[in-house]
């Protein structure tokens, strides 16, 4: 089947093309040209999707998401991952890291083993467009008790190389990212070990000083988990982990841009500090994303959701955010140009995870790649999502 997509502009991950005409055949991008350089090509129905005022861009990549549509990734079942994937596809996300939450070690081992099988042999989605997991983000158990947030204290563990290796081996090498607190005994050694095994290390859920944070960066840490949240507060005498994250130009930094986890002013501060090349938008979404208010589960514990706020034991417990909404919020809060803002949920997370075995095309658009793309209004609003050449959403 052949489909042609036209728009005002196309951003491919590096540059902007005006009057684009993108052709899809058998689920892949067959050509990308400018209509001004292809004068004999005119959109005609059927088989043409025309978005005359829109920008085409790569589908989004969410490196920190626990669930959606009533399911949690730690269920690690074909039904759960397919349901999550179908919902994310409607919101513009093409790929994601299935993110665990602190739980009993045996439960986490079972989850990562089950996820590994589903990542390596993904379901077909019953013919529906589907966002696909491309790896695992291990959030916990190597986190600070003081800054654990909603993570269950009884299941936190001290950083330990043998324990990490058990988890990594159970995942069949598909743990791509791990969050840990750098101040914990053994954290620096584990950072160096994880990096040597090809895993990216993100610093978070931490009460670390600046010196402890810099030691982890020196050992190979390259990112920070949900900046501002579950972090030592900023002090002008001891800038701690937060001040270090904001001022170290080498470090990527996640942010949950939902207007709940951070005020618009803090979003603007973060974006100014990290800039369009090191900031990353994530959702930290839980199973309640895309669902009505009520009680849901994050890992193994209940979370109450009301008016867009997910709470457990009086603490924020993830979000119900989607990346398309995070994008529009960023454009509004920080005044970021759309072309720059798009980097935060496409090329930046892809560059952070630039690892052997990553699927071709995550975060970019090029001929031969899977046809995973979005059409966006100038405000960043999602107009359409196309995953593997199929229209997943027309808002």
Q: How far apart are CA 244 and CA 341, in angstroms?
A: 23
Q: DSSP characters for 259-308? A: SSSS-HHHHHHHHHHHHHHHEEEE--B-TTTTS-SEEEEETTEEEEEETT
Spatial CB neighbours of 342, under 8 Å, sequence gap ≥ 6: 11, 55, 57, 58, 327, 376
Q: How far apart are CA 341 and CA 267, in angstroms?
A: 12
CA-CA-CA-CA torsion for 262, 263, 266, 272, nearest 10 degrees? 100
Q: How far apart are CA 284 and CA 233, in angstroms?
A: 20
Q: How far apart are CA 116 and CA 128, in angstroms?
A: 22
Q: How far apart are CA 220 and CA 201, in angstroms?
A: 7
Structure tokens at 264: 């618009």
Q: Which of 62, 72, 248, 284 is catalytic?
A: 284
- The helix (H) or strand (E) run that includes residue 132 is strand 132-139
Q: How far apart are CA 191 and CA 223, in angstroms?
A: 12
Spatial CB neighbours of 275, under 8 Å, sequence gap ≥ 6: none
Q: Would you call 147 helix, strand, or coil by DSSP?
A: coil
351 is catalytic: no
What are the residue numbers of the active site?
284
């Amino acid at each position: 089947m052949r489909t042609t997509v036209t728009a005002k502009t196309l951003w491919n991950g590096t540059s902007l093309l005006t009057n684009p005409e993108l052709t899809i055949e058998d689920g892949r991008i067959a050509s990308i040209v400018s209509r001004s350089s292809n004068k004999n090509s005119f959109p005609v129905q059927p088989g043409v999707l025309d978005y005359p005022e829109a920008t085409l861009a790569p589908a989004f990549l969410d490196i920190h998401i626990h669930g959606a549509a009533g399911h949690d990734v730690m269920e690690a079942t074909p039904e759960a991952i397919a349901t999550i994937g179908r919902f994310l596809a409607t919101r513009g996300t093409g790929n994601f890291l299935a993110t665990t939450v602190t739980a009993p070690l045996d439960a986490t081992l079972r989850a990562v083993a089950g996820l590994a099988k589903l990542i390596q042999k993904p379901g077909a989605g019953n013919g529906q467009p589907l966002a696909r997991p491309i790896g695992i983000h291990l959030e916990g158990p190597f986190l600070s008790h003081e800054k654990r947030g909603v993570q269950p204290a009884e299941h936190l563990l001290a950083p330990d190389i043998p324990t990490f290796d058990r988890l990594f081996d159970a995942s069949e090498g598909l743990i791509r990212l791990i969050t840990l607190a750098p101040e914990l005994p053994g954290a620096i050694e584990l950072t160096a070990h994880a990096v040597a095994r090809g895993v990216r290390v993100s610093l978070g859920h931490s009460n670390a000083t600046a010196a402890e944070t810099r030691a982890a960066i020196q050992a190979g840490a390259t990112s920070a988990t949900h900046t501002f949240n579950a972090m030592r507060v900023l002090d002008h005498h001891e800038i701690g982990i937060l001040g270090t994250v904001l001022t170290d130009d080498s470090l990527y930094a996640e942010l949950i841009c939902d207007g709940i986890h951070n005020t618009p002013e803090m979003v603007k501060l973060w974006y100014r500090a990290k800039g369009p090349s090191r900031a990353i938008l994530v959702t930290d979404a839980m199973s309640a994303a895309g669902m009505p208010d009520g009680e849901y589960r994050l890992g193994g514990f209940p979370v109450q959701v009301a008016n867009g706020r997910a709470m457990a034991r009086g603490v924020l417990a993830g979000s119900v955010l989607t990346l398309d909404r995070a994008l529009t919020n960023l454009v509004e809060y920080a005044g970021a140009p759309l072309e720059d803002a798009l980097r935060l949920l496409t090329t930046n997370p892809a560059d952070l995870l630039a690892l052997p075995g990553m699927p071709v095309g995550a975060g970019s658009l090029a001929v031969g790649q899977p046809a995973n793309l979005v059409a966006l209004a100038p405000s960043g609003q999602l107009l359409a999502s196309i995953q593997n050449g199929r229209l997943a959403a027309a808002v």
